[in-house]
Amino acid sequence: MPLILATSFAELKDIFLMQGFAGFSLFAVFLLMALGLAIIFGQMKVINMAHGEFLTVGAYVTVFLSHMVVNHAPKLLPYYFPAAIVCAFVVAFILGYIVEIGLVKYLYNRPLDTLLATWGLSMILQQACRSLFGAREDTATLPEWMMGSWSPSEGLDIPINGMFLLALAIVMVLLVYALMYRSRWGLKVRATMQNRAMAGAVGINTKRVDRVTFALGCGLAGIAGAAFTTIGSVSPSAGSLYIVDTFIVVVFGGAASLLGTVLSAFTIAQSQSILEFFLTGVLAKIFVLVGVIILLMIRPQGLIASKVRR
Amino acid sequence: MLDVKNLQVAYGESEIISQLSFSVARKETLAIMGRNGMGKTTLMKALIGILKCRQGSVQVDGLDVAKFDSFKRVDSGLAYVPQGRQIFPTLSVEDNIRTGLVTVGKRKIDDWVYTLFPVLKEMRRRRGGNLSGGQQQQLAIARALVSEPKVLLLDEPTEGIQPSIIQDIARMLNELKKLRDITIVVSEQVLSFTLEIADRILVMEGGRFVHEDLRANVDEAKIHQYLAV
């Protein structure tokens, strides 16, 4: 008899809740990754195949810091994680800035060339991580307070790291929203991404906007990397596992919409997490992808598209 | 105020403008007329820096901007209203105007903008792309004016605009000339509009100037001939 029929209603509710909360961890990582890619791909139209490697970089920064703390200053263990998030952002931001200057800026409006070049970059970065940190998987030592779970009722366990990630993702969404839609810098970004030549002709330094915007997207992937260390172990190819999912989230959400990205990350992460409990991981993924394809056939512009004549 | 000397502009190998020189005095309005494909838009784009100037100099109030990126030219006192408006369609009207304020480092839109363009005040929360052509044209002019330019470049402001709005734009520009210390270079094909605003008319053909007239003694028949296809 299939599992779903064998379980009672109360158990089913707990399963949904638990898988739902497990899905929140996945949602948080998806969302952080997708936020960066929504800026880089959604706004700048750069197909950045190396986006996953910025997650890897952020994750390695976190792992490295956790080893440093464990070996040299174990007393700081409960506090290091917020600092690791900031460091992951800064390192990924700087790396992104360099990549923009050295590679991406020559390839604007050449999507296929960008795709190939950034794919090559992703392989270089993966190999660099392999050489620097070794091919073996590594894990960050998490502070005590992030481990374990909270059980509000019998049979229901909600992991604390999942809730922490969720809070982190929500804070980042709000920050990015404020930056993009409430600040003067965001205005410059939105103008530049709509019409680069004209933005320059009204007085915006578009080259600088491009550099900082790309670096910011990469920095967000770095934060996703720090978040990732709380739910998985890091290997040089960790980020590449997320890149396709992240593109799906951004395209499904509607390329230039922040709200669309949030809704889409939520839908995909939750359906995958809940389906995984009843089916195998691969089957769950197939179901999710088929769902995405059907919805994109009905709404090619994604979940949320801006209503404007073009 | 604007001095262009030996300007040369080319798309790849094909040279559109070669050795073009002209100057515009302070507070003067110069109209550049000519049929389609004669190099008016190319000249405008080269002046604001969307196209590279291959050779020559473009001096704004004594400063040569020919090697500058667009945004630095705006900072040096140029402002540009492109052909076809090119407002930012998904930005609100307010935000469109604010993009012009970046250069002067302000956030607040001054009252005179809405006094000059009352329709933009009504529409200020709408997205730029949902405005009519005439409203978009006014928005594009407002966006250029808020950067407080010394020289305003207008590329075919009447293209695709209904006659009553063309009248409004001419009236607004004349008002503006009285209010502000501004020099205007406008490219046009509509002679009636040009005669309402211009102090001097240059006719362009094949990337060169072939005829010059002051408004005071303009030879309408001759200019019509140049504009006829």
CA distance A45 to A40: 6
Q: Is ipTM > 0.85 here? A: yes
Q: Could you tell me the CA-to-CA distances from A49 to A113, A262, B126 in Å, in that order?
A: 11, 21, 36
- Residue B54 sits at φ, ψ, to 5 deg, of -75, -40
Q: Check the CA dihedral A263-A265-A269-A275 and report its sign.
A: positive
Q: Which segments in chain A show pLDDT lower than 50? A: 1, 310
**Which residues neighbour A261 within 8 Å (Cβ) at sequence distance 6 or greater?**
A31, A34, A35, A38, A42, A249, A250, A253, A254
Nearest residue to A190 (alpha-carbon basis) of B88, B111, B60: B88
Matching residue, tokens 């007085």:
A203
- pTM comes to 0.87
| Calpha distance A226→A228 (Å, rounded) | 5
What distance in Å separates residue A117's CA from the closest CA in chain B? 26
CB atoms within 10 A of CB B36: 9
Query: Would you call B53 helix, strand, or coil by DSSP?
Result: coil
What does the alpha-carbon distance between residue B135 and residue A302 come to, in Å, rounded to a whole number? 30
Question: What angle do the packed helices A206-228 and A51-72 form, to 10 degrees?
Answer: 50
Q: Do A203 and B102 touch (CB under 8 A)?
A: yes
Buried b (16+ CB within 10 A) or exposed e, B101-110: bbbeeeeebe
Contacts of A134 (CB under 8 A, 6+ apart): none
> CA-nearest residue of chain A to B103?
A203
- Strands B55-60, B151-155: pairing is unpaired
3-state secondary structure chain A: CCHHHHCCHHHHHHHHHHHHHHHHHHHHHHHHHHHHHHHHHHHCCCCCCCHHHHHHHHHHHHHHHHHHHHHHCHHHCCCHHHHHHHHHHHHHHHHHHHHHHHCHHHHCCCHHHHHHHHHHHHHHHHHHHHHHHCCCCECCCCCHHHCCEEEEECCEEEEHHHHHHHHHHHHHHHHHHHHHHCCHHHHHHHHHHHCHHHHHHCCCCHHHHHHHHHHHHHHHHHHHHHHHCCCCCECCCCCHHHHHHHHHHHHHHCCCCHHHHHHHHHHHHHHHHHHHHHCCHHHHHHHHHHHHHHHHHHCCCCCCCCCCCC
**Given this model, what pLDDT does residue A254 score?**
82
pLDDT given at position A13? 77
- Quote the CA–CA distance of B79 and B176 in Å, as a whole number: 14
**Torsion angles phi and psi, residue A221, rounded to 5:** -65, -35
CB pairs under 8 A between A and B: 84
pLDDT recorded at residue B127: 92
3-state secondary structure (DSSP) of residue B148: coil
pLDDT at A144: 80
Joined tokens for residue A141: 């030592």
* CA–CA gap between residue B115 and residue B104 (Å, rounded): 20
Chosen for mutation from A202, A258, A301, A309 (greatest number of chain B CBs closer than 10 Å) is A202
Dihedral (CA of B205, B207, B208, B211) sign: positive
Task: Say if the Cβ atoms of A194 and B50 lie within 8 Å.
Answer: no
pLDDT digits (tens, 9 = 90+) for B6-49: 988 888 778 888 889 999 999 999 999 988 888 889 999 999 99
Q: Please state the φ and ψ torsions of residue B3, each to the nearest 5 degrees.
A: -125, 115
What is the rounded CA–CA span in Å between residue B181 and residue A139? 67
CB B129 to CB A207 under 8 A? no
- From the CA of B121, how many Å to the nearest CA of chain A? 19
Asked if the Cβ–Cβ distance from A202 to B82 is below 8 Å, we say: no
- Residue A268 CA to residue A31 CA, distance in Å, equals 10
Residues from B contacting A (CB-CB < 8 Å) are 48-50, 69-71, 74-75, 79-80, 82, 86, 88-91, 95, 98-100, 102-103, 107, 127, 129-130, 143-144, 147
Cβ of A190 under 8 Å from any chain B Cβ?
Answer: yes
pLDDT digits (tens, 9 = 90+) for A217-256: 999 999 999 999 988 889 998 888 889 889 999 988 886 7
pLDDT number for residue A138? 87
Contact with chain B for residue A211, Cβ under 8 A: no
Integer CA distances (angstroms), A112 to A47, B15, B111, in order? 8, 30, 47
Task: Measure the CA–CA gap between B71 and B205, rounded to whole angstroms.
Answer: 29
Question: A191 CB near a chain B CB, below 8 Å?
Answer: yes
HSE-CB at B202 with a 13 A cutoff on CA atoms is: 21
Q: Write the CB contacts of A13 (distance below 8 Å, at least 6 apart in sequence).
A: none
- A207 interaction partners in chain B (CB closer than 8 Å): 69
Contact A197 B70 (CB under 8 A): yes
- Alpha-carbon distance values, B209 to A147, A238, B1, B66, B166 (Å): 78, 64, 19, 20, 26
Q: Which residues contact B102 (CB under 8 A, 6 or more apart)?
A: A184, A187, A188, A202, A203, A204, B147
Q: Quick one: which of A305, A288, A304 has its CA closest to A244?
A: A288
Question: Using CB atoms, which residue from B70, B74, B99 is nearest to A187?
Answer: B99
CB contact under 8 A, B88 and A256: no
Reference B158, options B138, B184, B128, B182; nearest CA is B138
pLDDT at A155: 67
A55-71: pLDDT as tens digits: 999 999 999 999 999 99
CB contact under 8 A, A190 and B74: no
- Residue A1: its pLDDT value, please? 47
Please indicate if any CB of chain B lies within 8 Å of the CB of A305: no
DSSP collapsed to 3 states, A242-261: HHHHHHHHHHHHCCCCHHHH
DSSP bridge partners of B7: B20
Supply the Cα-derived Rg of chain B in whole angstroms: 17
The residue ranges of chain B whose pLDDT is under 70 are 229
